[in-house]
Amino acid sequence: MDKFYPNLSAEFERLLRLLEDKKVAVIGHARPDGDCIGAQVALARVLAGRGLDVICVNPDPVPRRLLFLVGGMTFYRTDDVLKNTEERAAIFVDCADHARGGERLKGRYPAPVAVIDHHLSNVGYADVNMVDSGSAATCEILAGVFLDNNLPVDAPAAQALFTGILTDTGQFRFNSTSRRCFMLAGELVARGAKPAEAGYELYERETEGKLRLLQHFLASLKLECGGRACIGTLPSGIYERTGANGEDTEGLVDYARSIEGVEVGALVEHRADGTVKASLRAKEPALRVDLIAARFNGGGHACAAGLNLKTGTENFYARLVDAIAERIAIADAEKKR
């Protein structure tokens, strides 16, 4: 069979040689998602299977709904590894930037041996740079590279990789979902990945608070820009009232975007300390919601971006509507050209 990633798989062989006899830290980003935790668990398992001493490190804890992936792997937080002076070869996964795990983790591991990632903006900041922005997920790259090199992928590693592909493709339906995603998913199922178990853990263990939060968010939805934008608002104190928590906002903004005719969906969250957080989603990359977020010192991707405003939050809703309207006008003008 043809190799999934001929070039990266050769690079991975080089990485394995560099790691011989070393202790390893597999580092993920802040607010880790399924692709980040999946990649950390799978890579740690494969390296541990080769006899290496491996730990995983994250600035934030493993989210509740991803705990099923962890198995016997050890996850440390930033403070733990700052206290400890032992030398470890650092591999950053799913981190577009050396500082995605925070400046303190960057300082603790200033010279990573490798980075494995699929973000467009990743310029390569390690010795071995396995970056492919044509991949839907970091777990897709890892799965392909493991199979290309005939490395043993056990059932927990297969499940971790499968979950990363599942979540970063939005359940196999983002633009990035390729033939290769499906072929690798099939190979991972053959090695013990359980789609139904992943689906249960990710989507069938909601809290009542989460559903109450969704209910409030839906009630708050307003169409703007002639029905081409839809914005939902969470007021300060909503977590106490619904019994939800910050993790539960995940996915809410997709409901705002899901309405026919809506091109940009937004979630605006007012916090008790007066700060404002917003998430933006576009149906088409031409809308460039990263540029809308950038107007408020935020950032992200063309179709998914976010921002955190600590000051200058007056009139935020109206200013956001203006910024979205402006981007829609620019996208319209570009389309006409």
Closer to its own copies by Cβ: residue 64 or 104? 64
Q: Tell me if 67 contacts its own copies by CB under 8 A.
A: no
- Report, in Å, the least distance between residue 15 CB and its own copies: 27
Q: Tell me if 133 contacts its own copies by CB under 8 A.
A: no
Stretch that binds its own copies, among 16-24, 81-89, 197-205, 320-328 (CB under 8 A): 197-205
- The strand pair at 264-270 and 75-77 is best described as unpaired
Q: Which of 107, 134, 186, 274 binds its own copies (CB under 8 A)?
A: 186
Distance of alpha carbon 116 from alpha carbon 267, whole angstroms: 31
Which amino acid, residue 43? L
- Report, in Å, the least distance between residue 202 CB and its own copies: 8
Q: Tell me if 134 contacts its own copies by CB under 8 A.
A: no
Closer to its own copies by Cβ: residue 62 or 91? 62
Query: Taking CB under 8 A as the criterion, which residues in 206-245 touch its own copies?
Result: 206-208, 211-212, 214-215, 218-219, 221, 223
Q: Tell me if 6 contacts its own copies by CB under 8 A.
A: no
Q: Tell me if 192 contacts its own copies by CB under 8 A.
A: no
Which amino acid, residue 316? F
Query: Taking CB under 8 A as the criterion, which residues in 266-285 touch its own copies?
Result: 283
Q: Which of 67, 182, 245, 312 binds its own copies (CB under 8 A)?
A: 182
> How many Å is the Cα radius of gyration of the chain?
21
- Report, in Å, the least distance between residue 287 CB and its own copies: 14
Distance of alpha carbon 81 from alpha carbon 85, whole angstroms: 7
Strand order across the beta sheet in which 128-131 lies: 75-77, 54-58, 24-27, 89-93, 114-117, 128-131
Closer to its own copies by Cβ: residue 189 or 325? 189
Stretch that binds its own copies, among 44-52, 66-74, 142-150, 167-175 (CB under 8 A): 167-175
Distance of alpha carbon 337 from alpha carbon 334, whole angstroms: 5
Size of the site for its own copies (CB under 8 A): 45
Query: Taking CB under 8 A as the criterion, which residues in 283-302 touch its own copies?
Result: 283
Closer to its own copies by Cβ: residue 180 or 295? 180
- Mark 5-18 as b/e (b = at least 16 C-beta within 10 Å): beebbebbeebbee
Return the axis-axis angle of helices 34-49 and 138-148, rounded to nearest 10°. Answer: 20
What torsion, rounded to 10 degrees, do the Cα atoms 167, 173, 178, 179 define?
A: 100
Whole-number Cα distances in Å, 217 to 52, 211, 214, 253, 294? 47, 10, 5, 9, 24
Stretch that binds its own copies, among 45-53, 145-153, 177-185, 272-280 (CB under 8 A): 177-185
CB atoms near residue 246 (< 10 Å): 11
Q: Which of 107, 124, 134, 199 binds its own copies (CB under 8 A)?
A: 199
Q: Which residues are CB-contacts of 185 (< 8 A; sequence separation ≥ 6)? A: 162, 165, 166, 172, 193
Distance of alpha carbon 53 from alpha carbon 41, whole angstroms: 13
Q: Tell me if 90 contacts its own copies by CB under 8 A.
A: no
Residues in contact with its own copies by the rule CB under 8 A:
166, 169-175, 177-183, 185-187, 189-190, 195-196, 198-200, 203-208, 211-212, 214-215, 218-219, 221, 223, 255, 257-260, 283
